[in-house]
Amino acid sequence: MTVLRVAVGIAAVGAVAVSCGFRQVESDEFDEAYDAHVEAMDGHADRLLAAFEAEEKRVRAGQIDGGVKLSVEETANLLRTMGEEKKAFEEDGLIPLSLPMRDHAGEFLLRGAESGKRLRKAAERSLRRAIRDDPEAAREIQSRITLYMTPRVVAVLNVSVGSRSDEDVALWSDGTAGEERDLRWTCRRGVLSLSGQEPGTSTGYRLDRMQLSVDGRSMNGLDEKGKIKTATRIK
């Protein structure tokens, strides 16, 4: 399934083409763990796609989490947004942030992280054995670790202070944020937070807490200094 390989950072065709260039190691634990990871992520992706259909029905019936009431126009806009989110997930692995889909997206990322941890442990064991027994195989395994396990961007925000455009912030699948992945991001109860150390500033750290709109396209809140922070999802 293309969505799986996109969502976990594995190009559906590219990874196969590249991995075919590796010299195969017989009974390699990493290969077996990778196959299990792919199968698990396929299942998680299928569940998220099924959730889109179920939540769209609930929105049409006026059943939105938190008892949110929408006008006919707002309902139509939310359904359109959810359709765009579904397409973005299928094509690029971008996660949905609309109110009906947030918990499902969080579950997808959580289950993916758990599966990724099992894959990484298997990779490390294979790498240790290869370093001891076959240095050439060790280099190949290290290359595959980089290829298969690099986090990918799941959303991009344009974050501003007041009316001043500030920066584009990428949200990565492993919970890191920013171009250098030196921030952390979370989304709990409709509040998206960005946090991390910021040497050279008056506080030495950053903490943005912003409430997401129902459609997940915009958010607003405060930073660690109490200044108004706003953001718009641009990807």
0.95 exceeded by pTM: no
Q: Is the per-residue pLDDT at 216 higher than 70?
A: yes
Contacts of 71-74 with C-beta under 8 Å, sequence gap 24+, read 74/214
What are the extents of the domains in the chain?
Answer: 2-149, 153-233
Identify the pLDDT of residue 65: 82
pLDDT band at 163 (very low <50, low <70, confident <90, very high): low
Which 3 state secondary structure label does DSSP give 203?
coil
Average pLDDT score over residue span 167-196: 95
Compute the mean pLDDT over every residue in the chain, rounded to the nearest whole number: 86
Here the contacts of 154-158 (C-beta below 8 Å, separation 24 or greater) are 154/7, 154/93, 154/94, 154/95, 154/109, 155/94, 155/95, 155/97, 155/233, 155/235, 156/233, 156/234, 156/235, 157/219, 157/231, 157/232, 157/233, 157/234, 158/231, 158/232, 158/234
Top-tier CATH class for 153-233:
mainly beta
**If DSSP codes are grouped into helix, strand and coil, which group holds residue 182?**
coil
User: For residue range 74-118, what is the model confidence (pLDDT) as tens digits?
Assistant: 999 999 999 999 999 999 999 999 999 999 999 999 999 999 999
The whole-number pLDDT of residue 67 equals 82
